[in-house]
Amino acid sequence: MPLLRVTLTPSAFDDDQRTRLAVALTEAACRAESVPDVPEARIRALVLFDELAPGHFYSAATSVDDSVAGVFIDWQVSAGVLDGARKERFARELQDAAVAAAGDDGRMVMTSCVIHEVSEGQWAQNGAIRRLPEVAAIAAFEHLVTVATAG
């Protein structure tokens, strides 16, 4: 059940590019979490975009609004869902998705993702605390079938 909060640099992505980025990020996160490609499972894959206002993105104390297409992600995921290989694959796919979505307007593409692994019993959703066996069953994580049935 990917939950990606994505911050974009000012005016780096138009509506069509943002849509392509949302699709690519959803696919990459669902692959990382092994969420099957079925509507009942994918409905919970969320991408939330925020775009910085002009003049609110700096590198080395210099405004870089016109020279950087940045995609910065905070990803909340239940602890125990991702291993190192899944994280590394997502990092590569994030960069590829940002480059593809940004197009060729001369801006440097910059990505960053902080993965927040939410400890057991610390995720509230729709009025209830969700624990890993329940989350695994709801999301239908293909690599955690035994965890889902153990709950």
Task: Look at residue 70 and tell me if it is in a domain.
Answer: yes
For residues 74-97, average pLDDT: 95
Any domain includes 96: yes
Distance (Å, whole) CA 26 – CA 24: 5
Higher per-residue pLDDT: 151 or 113: 113
Residue 145 resides in a domain: no
**Is residue 117 within a helix (H) or strand (E), and if so which, with residue range?**
strand 108-118
* CA–CA distance, 145 with 139 (Å, rounded to integer): 10
Query: What total of structural domains would you count in the chain?
Result: 1
| pLDDT value for 41 | 84
Is residue 111 within 8 Å of 95, Cβ to Cβ?
yes
Asked if residue 85 belongs to a domain, the reply is yes
pLDDT for residue 149 is more than 60: no
pLDDT at 151 over 60: no
Cα pseudo-dihedral 94, 99, 56, 116, rounded to 10: 0
The per-residue pLDDT for range 28-70, each reduced to its tens digit, is: 999 999 998 989 888 989 999 999 999 999 999 999 999 999 9
Q: Is residue 12 part of a domain?
A: yes
Q: Residue 13 pLDDT > 90, yes or no?
A: yes
Q: What is the pLDDT of residue 125?
A: 84
pLDDT for the residue 5: 98
129 in a domain, yes or no? Answer: no
Q: How confident is the model at residue 83 (pLDDT cuts 50, 70, 90)?
A: very high
Please check whether residue 148 lies inside any domain of the structure: no
**Residue ranges making up the domain that contains 93:** 3-123
- Whichever domain contains 62, its CATH number is 3.30.429.10
Within a domain: 143: no
Tens digits of per-residue pLDDT, 112-141? 999 999 998 888 888 988 777 677 666 667
